[in-house]
Amino acid sequence: MDKIVIKGGKRLEGSIPIAGAKNAALPLMCAGILTDEVLTLENLPLLADIDTMQNLLVQHGVELTMRHAGGNGRRTRTFALSTPDLASSLAPYDLVRKMRASVLVLGPLVARFGVARVSLPGGCAIGARPIDLHLKGLEALGAEIELDKGYVQASAPNGLRGGDVVFPFVSVGATENLLMAAVLARGETRLINAAREPEVVDLANCLNAMGAHIEGAGTDVITIKGVEGLHGAVHPVIADRIETGTYAMAAAATRGSVELQGAELDALPSVIDHLMRAGVEVEATDGGVKVSADRIVGVDVMTEPFPGFPTDLQAQMMALLATAEGASMVTETIFENRFMHVPELTRLGANINLHGRSAMVRGTQDLTGAAVMATDLRASVSLVVAALAAQGQTEVNRVYHLDRGYERLEEKLAACGADIERISG
């Protein structure tokens, strides 16, 4: 298994190109199921999760061609997807277990073909993460749902019909699944208490470009007027706000200065606010966003649905705050088990105490390298952030977690002066 070795204590300085957003790309790829015409998705990141989704879609019958593009230090992929026929309605356990976002095929499969058999995702490192909201929403649109031997069997032989779906709490994935189901349903659907994340807006924009009638994406009520069919479109994936935030925090942790090319400030309102209160300077530039820091002070952070502080940046922010002057309280409200990075950060000398859903972080200037290992994507990268700030050598094991969500991580950081290398094993 590969590992990443970092010799910390070097200021990051330079610029980092931000990739297309993984969490926007995955649902957008599933939208390819909704049409027999060609949906061209540009600016896809080069990530293991995108490959997993590609494998899943191809076995459903999606025809997919890929083109690589590059220039200005960037490399991206373009996919052309179309789905003339259904080859299989089955999303097998092996793929769904590997990547929970696989459940996003459910809505489009039922909407277009009237049938789907999708494995339940099961538990994962950051909590139980059920899909009950996805299933209740599909039932509200007329699908029949049965649970059988670990699989969801969904059917709507006569098509879906519009209706009101009221989410008891905000779910990004359920909003996306229902959005893709409702575009082909007969009549009007309202998604009430919908997620407002930029990735949901990106999906709605793409679906509208394919001929859907969606209004209100980005607010908590989305209205969809169903249409008979969707056509092809060309859609560029938005910049990855989580990658942006991660590198901003890495730069700040090393008291460095980095321009994040292609990053968008609007996608990270709460993160920018917290970073600035912690002492980070943030300015918009022609090509993106520049962050610089000389001194970091503690701030309290609580994760919330958008536009609040994203749970996907909680671990990285904690790593930054571990280097701050003073104390910070970090509270996780989205996932019940998302502090797996705490014991590992502690191995690097961080002073963190857990109290239920909150972590008290007392900053120190004395992080030191160690061998660490993490259990999920964002936890792993938080260890990279801390390692960049720590004196001495850190080995981050289980790098496959990082490869799910960060393309060319060591290359991007090394270009800004980090002493970082991947050791294959």
Residue 6 touches ligand UD1, criterion: CB under 6 A? no
CB of 7 to ligand UD1, least distance (A): 30
Least Å from the CB of residue 418 to ligand UD1: 25
**Which of the 8 DSSP states describes residue 134?**
H
Q: What are phi and psi of 396, to 5 degrees?
A: -100, 120
Compute the distance between CA of residue 316 and CA of residue 416 in angstroms, rounded to an integer.
18
- Does residue 95 belong to the site contacting ligand UD1 (CB under 6 A)? no
Please give the Cα distance from 316 to 402 (Å, whole number): 13
User: Cα 137 to chain center, whole Å?
Assistant: 22
Residue number with CB closer to ligand UD1 (243 or 259): 243
Q: Which of 30, 124, 206, 416 is catalytic?
A: 124
Question: Least distance from C-beta 129 to ligand UD1, angstroms?
Answer: 4
Q: Binding to ligand UD1 (CB under 6 A): which residues in 193-252?
A: 199
Does 23 engage in binding with ligand UD1 (CB under 6 A)? yes
Q: How far is the CB of 211 from ligand UD1 (least distance, A)?
A: 24
Q: How many residues belong to the chain?
A: 425
Q: Which is nearer to ligand UD1, 122 or 187 (CB)?
A: 122
**DSSP code of 391?**
B
Minimum separation from the CB atom of position 24 to ligand UD1 (A): 8
Judged by CB under 6 A, the chain residues 276 through 335 that form the site for ligand UD1 are 310-312, 334-335
Query: Token digits for 316?
Result: 């990285």
Is residue 11 a contact residue for ligand UD1 (CB under 6 A)? no
From 9-17, 126-134, 346-354, 387-395, give the range in contact with ligand UD1 by CB under 6 A.
126-134
Residue 78 CB, shortest distance to ligand UD1, in Å, is 20
Among 33, 57, 131, 191, binds ligand UD1 (CB under 6 A): 131
Q: For the CB of residue 378, give the shortest distance to ligand UD1 in the complex, in Å.
A: 8
Euclidean distance between CA atoms 416 and 408, whole angstroms: 13
DSSP sequence for 295-361: --B---EEB-STTSB-GGGHHHHHHHHTTSBSEEEEE--S-TT--THHHHHHHTT-EEEEETTEEEE
Q: State which of residues 84, 122, 123, 127 lies at the interface with ligand UD1 (CB under 6 A).
A: 127
The amino acid at residue 160 is L
Give the integer Cα–Cα distance in Å for 218 and 171. 13
**3-state SS class at 10:** coil
Residue 173 near ligand UD1 by CB under 6 A: yes
In this complex, which beta carbon is closest to ligand UD1, that of residue 6 or of residue 152?
Answer: 152
The only residue of 53, 101, 217, 260 in contact with ligand UD1, by rule CB under 6 A: 101
| Residue 26 engages ligand UD1 in binding (rule: CB under 6 A) | yes
- Which range, of 172-180, 277-285, 364-372, 381-389, touches ligand UD1 by CB under 6 A? 172-180
Candidate ranges 58-66, 170-178, 217-225, 262-270; the one touching ligand UD1 (CB under 6 A): 170-178
Q: What strands lie across the sheet with 63-71, from one edge to the other? A: 63-71, 74-82, 39-44, 233-236
Residues 6+ apart with CB under 8 A from 353: 359, 360
In the chain, what is the straight-line distance between the N-terminal and C-terminal CA atoms, in Å? 5
Listed in order, strand segments (DSSP E) in 185-297 are 188-192, 213-215, 221-225, 233-236, 257-261, 281-284, 288-292
Q: Respond yes or no: is residue 30 known to be catalytic.
A: no
Q: How many residues bind ligand UD1 (CB under 6 A)?
A: 21
Residue 268: C-alpha distances to residues 184, 197, 247 (Å): 32, 10, 13
Which of 202/259 has CB closer to ligand UD1? 202
Q: Is residue 141 near ligand UD1 by the rule CB under 6 A?
A: no
Q: Does 8 bind ligand UD1 (CB under 6 A)?
A: no
Contacts of 94 (CB under 8 A, 6+ apart): none
Q: Does residue 132 belong to the site contacting ligand UD1 (CB under 6 A)?
A: yes
Q: Which of residues 351-410 bind ligand UD1 (CB under 6 A)?
A: none
Interface with ligand UD1 (CB under 6 A):
23, 26, 100-101, 127, 129-134, 171-174, 199, 310-312, 334-335
Question: Which residues are annotated as catalytic?
Answer: 124
